[in-house]
Structure 1
Amino acid sequence: MPPLGLAELVIAGLLADGLFRRLGLPGLVGMLLMGVALGTSGLGLIDPRLLALSGDLRQMALIVILLRVGFGLDLATLRRVGPRVLLLAWIPASCEGLMITAVAQPLLQLSWLEAALLGSVLAAVSPAVVVPLMLRLIEENRGTAKAIPSMVMAAASLDDIAVIVVNGVLLGLLVNDRGALSARLLGLPLGLALGALAGGLLGWGLIRWFERFRPNANRQTLLVLALALLLLRLQEGINHLVPFTGLVAAIALGVVFLELRQDLAHPISAKLSSIWVFAELVLFVLVGAQLNVGVAWSHGLAGLAVLALGLLARSLGTLACLARSTLTAGERLFVMVAYTPKATVQAAIGAVPLLTMQAAGLPSGPGEVILAVAVLSIVVTAPAGAWLSARLADRVLLPSPGQPTAPG
């Protein structure tokens, strides 16, 4: 039988997505499992040339994720939900990442840097699971009196940004001089600032360009996507000279569009959502295809223990952030549960440590463990988190008229 190319992969992913949705499960889990079945540890039917391109495809998917975050990150919403969203963006992810760093070393036999990389992969919340539910709650006017859905969406977006940036720093330490940790940490604020400045200026320039030449929304979206990818390449090219965070630049580009010209931002955001349908499918199928099932099987129980302890730390961190809020006990429980599903970011960066280790000539065993636990986190938390969040929302978030106000 000839190897499966991109067309066959898309068809198989769509079939798996539709089947799992009919079963009431997130379609992305079906795509992931389809990749496992067709990949190197399964039937081995995927064209190796397609697997060789997985790194570039994953990078494109990551950029689409970040652009969608930027084009949806309304600063007015952030101001409305107040400073508590900043606490939710940092503290739960930090608690989870630190817990995983501590327990993954003895349980999975990883070094501290490898364990920290695993923590940075697992500590992000999945927008693919969280955002649709929050949008439904806003439409149904559930929890909007205290801006709970908006708070969760905004915090999840900022949480993803923080985790992806930390993951990038740790990957740099993996292939470079680990003794330069202090220098890298000192350069991180400058890199974030330069990235935000570059993305903001590029967004402003693009707005002026679009106003003058008026390309249609399709061309606008493709240009935004291409320039965001170039920002990531710029990061790789100049980081040895000056710290620069291209990931933050991509987000800042979208934020500037949304703040200055919403009439331009909304059509581009809609086009990015359409591109994400394809990017998500390819991303999850290829991540599943690269999974070493033997490694996943041998580390399954230890991986579940690491995941459970990390989620426990995240949940305690979430409750600590809400300790003095006006939310009821049920509402706090909902936020805690809604803040646990893993999927999109884990698929986008879960295999990156493995590919980085292989490219640098380092032993790939730890990278395979990181990928295996990342896939495990998606399979376990995405369906459970989506189901439990929806059930809790129907029980504890009652419809309430009036304008949303920030939780105190």
Structure 2
Amino acid sequence: MLLSISLILLVGMSMSWIYRKIKLPGLLGMLVTGIVLGPYMLDLLDESILGISSELRKIALIIILTRAGLGLDLSGLKKIGRPAVLMCFVPASLEILGMILLAPKLMGLTVLEAAIMGAVLAAVSPAVVVPRMVKLMDEGYGVNKGIPQLILAGASVDDVYVIVLFSTFTGMMQGESASVTSFLNVPVSIFLGGVLGLLLGTFFAYYFKKVHLRDTAKVLIILSVSFLLVVIEDHLNTPITFSALIAIMFIGIGLQKKREAVAKRLSVKYGKLWVGAEVFLFVLVGATVNIEYFGKVGVQALAVILGALVFRMLGVFICLPGTDLTGREKMFCMLAYTPKATVQAAIGGIPLSLGFACGDMVLTVAVLAIVLTAPLGALAIDSLYKKWLVI
């Protein structure tokens, strides 16, 4: 296992650096590393680390969601108003609808399998979007109209909304009844998760004020509680549950509201954790990809991804009427809301690990979506923000 860990880190970081030098997202280099080192090519990774890859990917997702919560500006959200709320679920919902309409015809999936694939693909990538929107805010582009704040906030909540839907669909695939309660559980679990997270974040704010701890110890405590929340959610058998991932993000929001200075310091710590977590996340998802399967579904998968993206961009457009954004600014929002990466890497392999018949296809489409949309989305943001947005 030690050899595998060293290869993942050294080769993954090196490939990430090389890809960034040629103006491509570093995560693509990490994906390629996983594909090359994985069992379908060189087979250099130990089975023990591949066996726990799903847990490692979940840890990476927890880290990025906590970081998003610690840095999310709720006051900016309130100023933007209705479009910010709509961006949290309308584009993702339309993308899933597009997948349900297209995938059964083009790929021979059932409606439920198409819904699972749509839920995997529908999340926008914090790994691509968040740092770029922070850069826009630092430079002042689009800030007066709230464009980077809108995309940043929407991307953070959009991910959790999609993950809750994914959990609901996979539960139905495993034999759980598709009752009204199942769908009612989506908004209720988001609400309960938010309330629980805010309470925990507020508790941590007062606890850290009373008990002097190093910031590293605070991060370890929050991480441990986050892991416990995920375990509790997994073992709950009640009709109505809470979203552990929403709760994890709202821990950061609650802490930020009460102790902003502490939240900023912890955000930096989580940013450092993300350096290593990101490498493991993308290398391990690359290692699970059966490259021979690409040849079987390549053309159909490409058509489904592009078709679903059209639905997603339409969803963004629907959110923006009534704002003072120009046509170019609206188009920028539509393009900036397309990159896939983090969530697809974190949950793309779950249907395969659960033994679903569509597992290989879902994972292959998820990786193809990352390879296609991450560099194009990043390139669109980087090349257009100075031309289409104003300071």
Q: Normalised by the shorter chain, which TM-score bucket?
A: over 0.9
Q: For residue 15 of structure 2, what is the aligned residue in structure 1?
A: 16
Offset, 1:398: 2.5
Residues of 2 paired with 1:36 and 1:4: CA distance? 17
Residue 111 of structure 2 aligns with an amino acid whose one-letter code is W
Q: String of CA shifts for 1:318-363, please: whole Å, max 9, x gaps.
A: 1122233211111111111111111111111111111122xxxxxx
Offset, 1:134: 1.4
Residues of 1 paired with 2:25 and 2:59: CA distance? 22
Q: Which moved more, 1:65-74 or 1:223-232?
A: 65-74
Offset, 1:376: 0.2
Residue 125 of structure 2 aligns with an amino acid whose one-letter code is S
Q: For residue 333 of structure 1, what is the aligned residue in structure 2?
A: 331
Q: For residue 33 of structure 2, what is the aligned residue in structure 1?
A: 34
Q: Which residues in structure 2 correspond to 1:346-357 (within 5 Å)?
A: 346-357=344-355
**Helix, strand or coil for the counterpart of 1:299?**
helix
Residues of 1 paired with 2:3 and 2:41: CA distance? 13
Residues of 2 paired with 1:262 and 1:187: CA distance? 32
Does residue 67 of structure 1 match 2:59? no
Does residue 381 of structure 1 match 2:373? yes
Q: String of CA shifts for 1:372-399, please: whole Å, max 9, x gaps.
A: 0000000001111111222111211132
Q: Is the 8 A contact 2:37 2:287 kept in 1?
A: yes
Q: For residue 115 of structure 1, what is the aligned residue in structure 2?
A: 114
Out of 350, 353, 363, which is 1:371 matched to?
A: 363
Q: Which moved more, 1:83-92 or 1:115-124?
A: 83-92
Q: String of CA shifts for 1:158-216, please: whole Å, max 9, x gaps.
A: 21121111111112212232x34322122333323332222222222222221222111
Q: String of CA shifts for 1:273-317, please: whole Å, max 9, x gaps.
A: 111111110010000000011212210110000000001111112
**Helix, strand or coil for the counterpart of 1:146?**
coil
Residues of 1 paired with 2:331 and 2:14: CA distance? 35
Residues of 2 paired with 1:296 and 1:161: CA distance? 28
Residues of 2 paired with 1:329 and 1:197: CA distance? 37
Q: 1:145 to 1:206 in 2, by over 3 A?
A: closer
Residues of 1 paired with 2:376 and 2:12: CA distance? 21
Residues of 2 paired with 1:325 and 1:205: CA distance? 37
Q: Which moved more, 1:368-377 or 1:245-254?
A: 245-254
Residues of 1 paired with 2:245 and 2:133: CA distance? 25
Q: For residue 81 of structure 1, what is the aligned residue in structure 2?
A: 80
Residues of 2 paired with 1:212 and 1:120: CA distance? 42
Q: String of CA shifts for 1:13-51, please: whole Å, max 9, x gaps.
A: 011101001111000011001101111211111111110
Q: For residue 402 of structure 1, what is the aligned residue in structure 2?
A: none
Q: For residue 230 of structure 1, what is the aligned residue in structure 2?
A: 228
Offset, 1:4: 4.2
TM-score (norm 1): 0.92
Residues of 1 paired with 2:84 and 2:208: CA distance? 33
Q: String of CA shifts for 1:200-246, please: whole Å, max 9, x gaps.
A: 22222222221222111000011101111110101011234652221
Offset, 1:132: 1.7
Residue 195 of structure 2 aligns with an amino acid whose one-letter code is L
Q: String of CA shifts for 1:112-165, please: whole Å, max 9, x gaps.
A: 111101100111111111122212211221111211111111111121121111
Q: For residue 245 of structure 2, what is the aligned residue in structure 1?
A: 247
Offset, 1:103: 0.9
Q: Which moved more, 1:375-384 or 1:147-156?
A: 147-156
Structure 1 unaligned regions, length at least 5: 358-363, 400-408
Identity %, equivalent residues: 40
Residues of 2 paired with 1:176 and 1:251: CA distance? 29
Q: Is the 8 A contact 1:93 1:163 kept in 2?
A: yes
Q: Is the 8 A contact 2:96 2:308 kept in 1?
A: yes
Q: Which moved more, 1:226-235 or 1:242-251?
A: 242-251
Q: 1:384 to 1:242 in 2, by over 3 A?
A: closer
Q: 1:302 to 1:137 in 2, by over 3 A?
A: same
Residues of 1 paired with 2:323 and 2:78: CA distance? 16
Q: 1:69 to 1:3 in 2, by over 3 A?
A: closer
Q: Which moved more, 1:384-393 or 1:187-196?
A: 187-196
Q: For residue 398 of structure 1, what is the aligned residue in structure 2?
A: 390
Q: Is the 8 A contact 2:161 2:190 kept in 1?
A: no
Offset, 1:260: 0.9
Residue 138 of structure 1 aligns with an amino acid whose one-letter code is M
Residues of 1 paired with 2:317 and 2:181: CA distance? 34
Q: Which residues in structure 2 correspond to 1:125-136 (within 5 Å)?
A: 125-136=124-135
**Helix, strand or coil for the counterpart of 2:128?**
helix
Q: 1:336 to 1:9 in 2, by over 3 A?
A: same
Q: For residue 272 of structure 1, what is the aligned residue in structure 2?
A: 270
Q: For residue 212 of structure 2, what is the aligned residue in structure 1?
A: 214
Q: Is the 8 A contact 1:99 1:310 kept in 2?
A: yes
Residues of 2 paired with 1:381 and 1:144: CA distance? 25
**Helix, strand or coil for the counterpart of 2:274?**
helix
- Number of residues paired by the alignment? 391
Residue 308 of structure 1 aligns with an amino acid whose one-letter code is L
Residues of 2 paired with 1:283 and 1:371: CA distance? 14
Q: Which residues in structure 2 correspond to 1:313-324 (within 5 Å)?
A: 313-324=311-322
Q: For residue 155 of structure 1, what is the aligned residue in structure 2?
A: 154
Residues of 1 paired with 2:247 and 2:130: CA distance? 22
Q: Is the 8 A contact 1:74 1:258 kept in 2?
A: no
Q: For residue 47 of structure 2, what is the aligned residue in structure 1?
A: 48
TM-score (norm 2): 0.96
Does residue 259 of structure 1 match 2:257? yes
Q: Is the 8 A contact 1:3 1:45 kept in 2?
A: no
Q: Is the 8 A contact 1:96 1:310 kept in 2?
A: yes
Q: 1:253 to 1:393 in 2, by over 3 A?
A: same
